[in-house]
Amino acid sequence: MPNSSAFMKNYKKFLFLLLFLGVCFALFYFSQEQEKKQNKTLKIEALNLPPLEVGDLIFRRGDSLESLIISQISNHHYTHLGLIISTDPIIIIHATTDDNINRQNQVILSPLNEFISHANSLAIKRFLLTKAQKEAIVLAAKSQLGREFILSNESNAFYCTTLIESLLTPHITLRLNYKEVNLPPLSGKYLFPKEFFNAPQATLIYEKRI
């Protein structure tokens, strides 16, 4: 009996130690994952951007589940894009759902630091545009501010890529393919950032992934 009692006492100590180590490991793992997530978003001071131009397209990949789903469906790294309408300071116009809590589901202007605040990858591509074309694009872009974001395969669809399509196609011949998506309730054809990124007329001038 004494031996059995000692064994049980040691066994309980062992289980308690095992449980304690398990809890410690879980807490450590959770804290590391949180730190990784925080460290995996871009920081504006670390970008080291080249000189930018009005009309440049700016692509990003976010850290959200929505971004992951778009990436999987489109088979492409980047999941959102906007257009630079000012370089000093850098201002981006884009159609978004929730970048600005005060202006949800619409076309908005975002300074660069806000645009990259939840991004872990960034790319900038440039089309060859004349000064007159750039001015016309900026004028047209500003006229779209506040327009409702509509993710749809109907004629009233208006989201990040269709905004850019409407701004560029009067000035550039683009061959953009709408991808068929079979994902109820959003089944239909949609335009993804991949089409602009792979456009042969566009030159990649910057990219950063973390």
High-pLDDT (> 70) share of the chain, %: 81
Using left for φ > 0, alpha for ψ between -120 and 50, and beta otherwise, residue 157 falls in beta
User: What CATH number should be reported for the domain whose range is 44-209?
Assistant: 3.90.1720.10
Per-residue pLDDT tens for 110-143? 999 999 998 999 999 999 999 999 999 999 999 9
Which pLDDT band holds residue 10 (cuts at 50, 70, 90)? low
Per-residue pLDDT tens for 139-168? 999 999 999 999 999 999 999 999 999 999
d(CA 124, CA 60): 9
The pLDDT value given to residue 63: 87
The pLDDT value given to residue 101: 93
Give me the residue spans of the domains in the chain: 1-39, 44-209
Query: Cβ(93)–Cβ(115) under 8 Å?
Result: no
The pLDDT value given to residue 46: 87
